[in-house]
Amino acid sequence: MPGQDARETARIVTGSLEGPTHLPFLPELPARGPGADLIGRTAGLLAELFARLEPSGWRIGDRPGRDTRRARAWLREDLDALEEFTQGYEGPLKVSAVGPWTLAAALERRNGEAMLGDPGARRDLAESLAEGLRGHLAEVRRRVPGARVVLQLDEPSLTAVLTGRVPTASGYRRHEPVDRALVEETLRAVVAVAGGDPVVVHSCAPRVPFGLLARAGATAVSFDFGLLTESEDEAIGEAVEGGLALFAGVVPAGGQGAAPGEAALSDPAGTVGGVRSLWRRLGLSPGLLAQAVTVTPACGLAGASPAYARAALTHCVRAARSLADNPE
């Protein structure tokens, strides 16, 4: 989400959009600076691993420094705000963290190379992430005891990891593709920390590996609907028939300073028209559509204006109601 006010953002995402079609969440506010960003926030969750910010990005260090302390402080502030506005709440509540493969592609070892290039380092990283997430989820459940926590793992680099497109520090080479079985095994271990609660894996990159994520135990996959091609229909259909839910990113995320556009946010039924078309192509039951699909922005809203972000969330709710009322 845009902005830097944790309390106001928590109030918006938990209070102003109430209803059975709304999924409240723990907001991320990267505009506050290092430690509130995607990688820094998750680095602050790691157990017995610490990261510091270098000019080239986040790098593993020997001890918790000011960057780690800042990341943890931002998260405590966010949790305090969430707890304040969820008193007595019962229902699903989504929290997000970077997944093990995107984290391995982004975090640097002490020599400046990504942890992705060292099998031992990425194994230690995945174990540290799993332990840190276990504690984080327990804290959320303690603060909001009526919530059923939905864990979202952000994996925008997953496809690049699988296809060998993650650059080395020099930029002249690419890291070797990681074996798909190992990718699946590592994801499965991290997914397991949710203890049976739903886990969503998010990627706004093309060619999301729906089948692999389903086999790894994901409950749902969140993706940019506009990047789908019909060549992916079969994989999506098989995954959905196997019980995988879809978080379809159909509402434009909005650019920096964007204001709500009438064309993008005035037609809830039109927003989900492509989802209905996909369902027909897959030959799936219309009655399953509203149960299997959650309507979301195409990607995060941090680059939008606060007004647009709020309007986009409201539009997601309206589009979801349209999908439920008119599945065909």
pLDDT at 18 over 70: no
In a domain, 299, yes or no: yes
Q: What is the pLDDT of residue 241?
A: 93
Judged by phi (left if over 0) then psi (alpha if -120 to 50, else beta), residue 319 lies in alpha
pLDDT at 118 over 70: yes
In a domain, 1, yes or no: no
Could you tell me if 248 and 323 are in contact, meaning their C-beta atoms sit under 8 angstroms apart?
no
In a domain, 156, yes or no: yes
Can you tell me whether residue 265 is helix, strand or coil? helix
Number of domains in the chain: 1
In a domain, 77, yes or no: yes
Q: Give the CA-trace dihedral at 279, 280, 284, 289, to 10 degrees.
A: 40
Q: What is the mean pLDDT of the chain?
A: 92
Q: What is the pLDDT of residue 205?
A: 93
Which stretches does DSSP call E strand in the chain? 50-54, 57-61, 91-98, 147-154, 199-203, 220-224, 245-251, 293-297
Distances (CA, A) of 260 to 5, 226, 255, 287: 21, 19, 10, 31
Distance between the two ends of the chain, CA-based, in angstroms?
A: 32
Q: Give residue 229's domain range.
A: 6-325
Type of residue at 248? A
In a domain, 43, yes or no: yes
Distance of CA 218 to the CA centre of its chain: 12
* pLDDT tens-place string over residues 85-115: 999 999 999 999 999 999 999 999 999 999 9
- Exposure on the CB side of residue 4, measured as CA atoms within 13 A: 5
- Looking at residue 172, which CATH number applies to its domain? 3.20.20
Could you tell me if 152 and 95 are in contact, meaning their C-beta atoms sit under 8 angstroms apart?
yes
Residue 257: band (very low, low, confident or very high) from pLDDT cuts 50, 70, 90 = very low
Backbone phi and psi for residue 126, each to the nearest 5 degrees, phi listed first: -65, -40
* pLDDT tens-place string over residues 169-183: 988 999 999 999 999
Estimate the crossing angle of helix 6-15 against helix 306-325, to 10 degrees.
20
In a domain, 54, yes or no: yes
* Measured distance CA(96)–CA(152) in Å, rounded: 5
Closest CA to 278 of 225, 316, 200, 325: 225
Closest CA to 59 of 97, 98, 110, 105: 110
In a domain, 211, yes or no: yes
Residue 40: its H or E element = helix 38-43
Cα torsion 238, 241, 245, 248: sign: positive
Q: Which of 11-20, 21-30, 142-151, 284-293 shows the lowest mean pLDDT across its residues? A: 11-20
* pLDDT tens-place string over residues 138-174: 999 999 999 999 999 999 999 999 999 999 998 899 9
Pairing assessment for the beta strands 220-224 and 199-203 based on DSSP bridges: parallel
